[in-house]
Structure 1
Amino acid sequence: GWPLNYQMWEYQLNELPKHNIRVITYDRRGFGLSSRPWNGYDYDTFAADLQLLLKELDLTDVTLVGFSMGGGEVARYLSKYNQDGRVTKGALVSSVTPYLLKTDDNPSGLPQEQFDTMQEELEADRPKFLAGFGKMFYGVGFFNHPVSDEFLQHDLSMTLDSAGYATIKVMQAWATTDFRSDLAQIKVPMLVIHGKEDKTVPIEASAEETIKHVPKAEYIVYDDAPHGLFYTHKERFNEDIINFVNSKSVF
């Protein structure tokens, strides 16, 4: 998820292998341990990068889980590259799909001005913006799900372990990319998980619209969850992912 890196999945890496699930995480270009080129911060490139990774590791029977902006990568990959059937299931968690930008034919989206303000604040003082973003991300001050100051500091260090230009360009990508046609082409069982109290990617603009395009998806709403439910609701989230991976879902 933007603007985190592979370390965000720590509490899944601790648990899922206990249930005989192999977990592979990676950093998209511009973030964490990956290289930081100037170009290529668009979803066609992200999906191509993912395809190279899956082929290089020769992975099969994959359950592809995308969080927040990563949901867009799942959708774009499944619509463009899954002809070989490497991926057998997909999960969209707090996902930016189907289309976050408000337009004439997407009235439930968010206004362009909101993203313009985010970009201005990132360009002016990235650490300050990301510190505030992290608090909203985990529902600090909104919900009774304690997040320690130490965890927030760790989260901030992750978000800053990226190229500043990558942080901005990727934000522009997830804010303006339309995944509606991608979702319509998906032909594997899907799981959609979203927090009802998500202030970062509001459920009305995302999951509620996503399931209209993937009507056969299993849809789970966490009533009191913020955006970062993979941490705040990690026990329930891990259980839901384990159950989905082990299910005999048929599209």
Structure 2
Amino acid sequence: MNCQGFKKINKGFGMPLNAVLTTGWPAISNGEMSALELHEKAESSGKNYRDALLAQIDPAKDILNLETTFRRRPSGYGPINQIVSNLVDQKEIIRCQVDAFAFAFLKNAKNFDTLMAIDSESLQRVKVQLEKWNNALYALTEFERLGKPLKEPWHSLEHTYLALRAIVGRASTRDERRALVVLLITGPASSNNIKDDLRLNYSLSKRVMGAMIKTGALEYREKTSHYAIRQDAIPVVLLLVRELMGLDMLAMLDAIKEHSYG
């Protein structure tokens, strides 16, 4: 069976697990739990994992921040594979909020679009955001190539772009570049997350993140002790990751539009 035929079968089947795409890594409110917390609670329950997981889930509420269940190290794809594989065969629709960049990466690396139907309303919102990001990248590219001043609504990106480029543009800043990729694909991360993902010592991970905080590209979220890319600086990070590391996340994101079943 070819891939096209397989996708048609999935579309007709009506996958019960829906991916609700988000952008900007929204914080979780008090009393809510991320997908990672649901997974960890099920694992530590001493009961059958599937039973413990399903007992926590209310089909009327979205599962939040699915992207938190995969990191390069130490667990890799284990947690996200475990939680998704135990939800794909449910009779009721279960909605999982997941960052659009994470889903685009998972689609490309692990064919997650064959397991989860993309929620159509959230896809439309991402399409609108994608156009804004593409426009911002074009403006930044013209600024870099021709020195054209950035106009509104991108004028505020000029300082951030120059400051971050001055750091990650150096050949010696491999760790800083890799940290940006981690934050872009797997979302907000603690110093320990960065240390584990990049195999750095703790003090070096703090130094790497501290330097990039000063550029205005990153923020530190006191409540969770996580570093995150500032929403308004996402185009800057997208451009530098593409030009310096060859990772075109907007191209991956654009490809999602061709594989929506929701």
Q: TM-score, normalised by structure 2?
A: 0.33
Higher alpha-carbon Rg: 2
Q: TM-score, normalised by structure 1?
A: 0.35
Higher helix share: 2
